[in-house]
Structure 1
Amino acid sequence: MRRGTFRDDTVDYAAVGATHAPDLMQYPPERSIPAEQSWRIGSGAERFQSAGESLLTWTAQRAAGLSIEDVRPASGPAYAGVSFDAEGNPIAPSRRDVEQRFDAEGTPFVGPGMTLKLHGHVAGMRADAELRVISVTEEKRRIGFVLGTVGGSVVSGEESFDIDWREDNDEVWFTVRAFDAPNSLLYRLLPTLVKRRRKELFARYLRAISPLYATPV
């Protein structure tokens, strides 16, 4: 298991990690618009591993038509957050360096504390942003990461991406959760634009990760 979290105050929103809050959709961070969708994308260990590797090599963002630039790994060690043993007892956190991996194009895999810049358009709207990787999870049955905005975006907030291999039925699910607080005047006046932007992003992420185009639930 590898679990890393980068703790820093350079993001431009306060509710760091809120995309993993169970009540996100009912109680989103102040001024923000929450969103969540899950899709079944197959079954079995091979599907889980291939989807997880795609996720950690920025496939969702690239295939969504967004270019990734200025990727910078964290300068210091990652923080391994609290995890739990089989009996539910907390395991003390520790600091350690995370081995850096690279894809075929030489771009670093997603890593905690990493910063990057995205450029592109979604549904005719600008999708430029500077982002920080808040946390990365690589477990036996879950792979995922959380991205938070640092600046330069029309919205501020967070996205979480998770691939889950369910033990009860062997199915593999892809879940994206987010909350967006409008920054620009236009988005504050027309919050429907925020929802439209998010809906298109979710559709693009699904096309990037899933070969099945499963029906959202």
Structure 2
Amino acid sequence: MSFTYPEVGATRDGGPLPAGYHHGRVRERIGHGRAAFEAAVEGVVTFEVHRAFGLRVESSQPRAAAGVRVTSTLALGPLRLLHAPCEVVWALDEPARGGYAYGTLPGHPASGEEAFLAELDDHDDVWFTVTAFSRASAWYARLGGPLTRAAQDRALHRYVTVARRIAARASQA
């Protein structure tokens, strides 16, 4: 299976995102200290951030790494509202940065990429960045127009909120 967009990996360097897509980037301080950073990274690379967001996540491996397949499902009881197959395109595991990005595969209602990155700065502050570029590919996503884009923007902020909670639990331990 191949990606549904040609700009695979475009979220990696934090530079300009590709034209022709809706762009979103949220960066916020979520905690302080090595324990908060490590918890945030662990929450990201084990897909805990997504599960705590309310998604059902199935992955081909327990941790994000290039090539890992991830399918997120949003359901309301027995009704599946969203089925989103993706593949991890890059992953970072550095002393002060950790996270990954995944790109959309056929069957995803959008086409594009999302990156989730935790960073520990020189002052021991923990920052979390979610970066995305996408455009609707399924008819129902295109039909949603501005509502679909607004939902994605809201989701980016919600991921940050979840990462903040994960980092805070580590700080209190």
Answer whether TM exceeds 0.5 for this pair.
yes
Aligned length in residues: 163
CA contact (8 A) 2:71 2:85 kept: yes
Deviation, 1:110, is 1.3
Instruction: After TM superposition, list the pairs within 5 Å mapping 1:54-65 onto structure 2.
Output: 54-65=43-54
Task: Tell me the equivalent position of 2:171.
Answer: none
Q: Which residue of 1 aligns with 2:3?
A: 11
The equivalent residue for 1:180 is 134
- 1: CA distance between counterparts of 2:82 and 2:153? 13
CA contact (8 A) 1:60 1:204 kept: no
State yes or no: 1:204 paired with 2:154. no
Report the residue type matching 1:163 in the other structure.
A
1:129 to 80, 84, 107: 84
Report 1:32-181 matches (<5 A): 32-69=21-58, 71-73=59-61, 108-120=62-74, 126-167=81-122, 169-181=123-135
- Which of structure 1's runs of 4+ aligned residues deviate more than 6 A? none
Per the normalisation by structure 2, the TM-score is 0.84
- Identity %, equivalent residues: 29
Which ranges in structure 2 are unaligned for 5 or more consecutive residues? 168-173
Q: Offset at 1:116?
A: 2.2
SS at match of 2:4: coil
Shift of 1:193: 2.0
Taking the aligned partners of 1:194 and 1:116, their CA distance within structure 2 comes to: 21
**Could you list the per-position Cα deviations for residues 61-108 of structure 1 after superposition, in whole angstroms to 9, with x for gaps in the alignment?**
101111012x224xxxxxxxxxxxxxxxxxxxxxxxxxxxxxxxxxx1
Moved more, 109-118 or 197-206: 197-206
CA contact (8 A) 2:39 2:166 kept: no
Distance 1:121 1:36 in 2: 26
Structure 1 unmatched ranges of 5 or more: 1-8, 74-107
* Offset of residue 190 of structure 1: 4.4
- Amino acid across the alignment from 1:132: E
**C-alpha distance in 2, partners of 1:17/1:121?**
29
Q: CA RMSD in A?
A: 2.3
Give the residue type in structure 2 aligned to 1:136. A
Instruction: Give CA deviations for 1:89-132 in whole Å, capped at 9, x if unaligned.
Output: xxxxxxxxxxxxxxxxxxx111210112211059xx94311110
Contact 1:55 1:144 in 2 (8 A): yes
- Larger radius of gyration, structure 1 or 2? 1
**In structure 1, what is the equivalent of residue 170 of structure 2?**
none
Does residue 15 of structure 2 align to residue 22 of structure 1? yes
